[in-house]
Structure 1
Amino acid sequence: MKIGYVYILKCSDNTYYTGFTSNLYNRIEEHIQGKYQESYTYKRRPLDLVFYCEFTDFQQAISYEKKIKKWSKLKKEALINGEFDNLRNLAKKK
């Protein structure tokens, strides 16, 4: 069974990058080494892996990645910190 990963990297400029991969270790190494100069993370290194979760359904993982990418920084930080009860409140408009 193949596993997919949704991950969040914290960049040196305190922004977050969210991605999806089927090989977490290799993909993180590519980000850290700066394999793709045109990527969002290239000029924002060093990077820290601050969150990841595993999926057995790739479509579900890709959907979750797209959803997280739309979240505010505060909501991403609640997810990273395991503050799941706060996620709902952070989604509401003020």
Structure 2
Amino acid sequence: MNCIQRPETDRPAWFVYIVQCADGTLYTGITTNIARRITEHNSSAKGARYTRSRRPVMLVYRETCRDRSEASKREYAIKQLSPTRKRTLVKASEKGFSAIYFPSYSIKGQ
């Protein structure tokens, strides 16, 4: 298995990721294997319908989550953001800031 194993369990880590498409738009998804998923977005029918006509895509953001449920909730929260807020999140991560410093990006109820 190519995915990262969490030390406390044998289950793979889940990631929320954002890719930038060739047309400049952003796509958010979840996976246990980012390299495989980016390859799928760029070269196979398994890539999301949205990204198939906007290739190539480039990874611009990722977060590690405890499990699929947490990743899905975080994906939903990010998808609710405006494109401007998503770009702010991406830029903050490029500067080494964590999403934890942006309370408005947190999952509701947590």
TM-score by length of 1: 0.81
- 1:45 counterpart letter in structure 2: R
Question: Residue 57 of structure 1: CA displacement?
Answer: 2.3
For residue 35 of structure 1, report the CA deviation from its aligned partner: 2.4
Which residue in 2 is equivalent to 1:69?
79
Point out the more displaced range, 15-24 or 29-38: 29-38
Q: Tell me if the contact between 1:79 and 1:87 (Cα under 8 Å) persists in the aligned partners.
A: no
Aligned ranges for residues 1-94 of structure 1 at < 5 Å?
Answer: 1-36=11-46, 39-82=49-92, 88=104
1:91 alignment counterpart = none
Question: Paired residues, what number?
Answer: 88
Q: Deviations over 1:52-76 (max 9, x none)?
A: 1111222111100011111111100
**Residues 87 and 45 of structure 1: is their aligned pair in 2 closer, same or farther, counting only changes over 3 Å?**
farther
Contact kept in structure 2, 1:78 and 1:86, CA below 8 Å: no
What is the TM-score of this pair, normalised by structure 2?
A: 0.71
Structure 1 unmatched runs, 5+: 89-94
1:33/1:74 Cα in 2 relative to 1: closer, same or farther (>3 Å)? same
* Runs of 4+ off more than 6 Å: none
Q: Deviation digits for residues 18-75 of structure 1, max 9, x if unmatched?
A: 0011111111110011324771100001111000111122211110001111111110
Unaligned runs of 5+ residues in structure 2 are 1-10, 105-110
Higher relative contact order (CA 8 A, sep 6+): 1
Q: For the residues of structure 2 that align with 1:79 and 1:33, how far apart are their CA atoms?
A: 27
